[in-house]
Amino acid sequence: MSTLPNRELLDVPTEENQPLPPRREFVDEDTVIRSQWRLFWRRFFRHRMAVISTIVLILIIFVCFNASWLAPYPKNHQDLALGATGPSMQHWFGTDDLGRDQLTEMMYAGQISLAIGLAVAVISTVLGTLFGALAGYFSEWTDQFLMRLTDLFLVVPAIAILAIAIKKFGNSAATIVLILAGLGWMYIARVVRSQILSIKEKEFVEAARASGASHKRIVVRHLIPNTIGPILVNATLAIAAAIITESTLSFLGFGVQPPTTSWGRMLSDAEGYVGTSKAHLLYFPGLALLIVVLCVNFIGDGLRDAFDPQSVR
């Protein structure tokens, strides 16, 4: 290679003097399978408030539902001689007029509030998803009918209907759950419908039809899973809304009745103590509601960001 002296200077091996290196086989083994879920969790964990909220909420749920052995006093244990006292070492959250330990009361009341919130969210999400998916997928008649029904439920004054329904059907926790769910599915239905309207135009739906899938299969296997992000986000918001509505009802006296209590019920009982020495009876249930609703909303935020593939966080 005398014609290319600089090659020798750079010590570049030429084809003549250097045998080709053995061909390396392409190895696919270290390809990390990064599934949608793994990406999802990574994005979710980057949302600090959502992670803190999840931990706090799990803690609250754990404490409330293990009240039977965690609570410092037995349920409804009265100490009439003690009466209402402020927070102390014996009674962290104080006691009420009947001398009942408020921490214990809060744990048991939390069970009802949380259970109602979760149950309402689950039922209304299922109902809303079903209605929304049907309306979005089968346009025209079905859509018109279901969406006008949704509008109808949206325009009725919820609190008035709730009050009447509870007067008529009684105010057990189950009734309250069913009524709240019956009045809460519309928001999810609307969100799901709009999502499905756009997803059903995608080519993979056409491909599914071309491979012989039935309408039911397309809705259940393709459309709803592709909408799962907005559904879950709205479900968390529904939990918060249900807990708040239940407290409102209880506060107005339509909620669960003694001896069953909820945080809303406790607020209602302490209604008259604003600005008195017994104000702590108001603060603790209020604070519990605030924390839980905040947590749920933060989790909803985190889920929304985690489900959004365009999210840069």
Binding site for another protein (CB under 8 A): 26, 28-29, 31, 33-36, 202-204, 206-215, 217, 221-222, 225-226, 228
In the complex, minimum distance from the CB of residue 224 to another protein, in angstroms, rounded to a whole number: 10
Q: Which is nearer to another protein, 39 or 58 (CB)?
A: 39
Give the integer Cα–Cα distance in Å for 41 and 4: 57
Question: Closest distance between another protein and the C-beta of residue 218, in Å?
Answer: 10
Residue 145 or residue 204: which is nearer to another protein going by CB? 204
CB of 301 to another protein, least distance (A): 22
Of 229 and 286, nearer to another protein (C-beta) is: 229
Q: Which is nearer to another protein, 11 or 28 (CB)?
A: 28
Minimum CB distance to another protein smaller for 42 or for 48: 42
What are the residues facing 85 on neighbouring strands?
95
CB 144 → another protein: shortest distance, Å? Answer: 16
> Residue 2 CB, nearest distance to another protein (Å)?
37
Closest distance of CB 219 from another protein, Å: 13
| Pick 55 or 220: Cβ nearer another protein | 220
Nearer to another protein, 16 or 203 (CB): 203
DSSP string computed for the chain: -TT-HHHHHHTPPPTTTSPPPPPPPP--TT-----HHHHHHHHHHH-HHHHHHHHHHHHHHHHHHTHHHHSSS-TT---TTT-SB-S-SSSTT-B-TT--BHHHHHHHHHHHHHHHHHHHHHHHHHHHHHHHHHHHHSTTHHHHHHHHHHHHHHHS-HHHHHHHHHHHH---HHHHHHHHHHTTSHHHHHHHHHHHHHHTTSHHHHHHHHTT--HHHIIIIIITGGGHHHHHHHHHHHHHHHHHHHHHHHHHT-S--TTS--HHHHHHHTGGGTTSTTTHHHHHHHHHHHHHHHHHHHHHHHHHHHH-TT---
To the nearest whole angstrom, how small is the minimum distance from the Cβ of residue 140 to another protein?
9
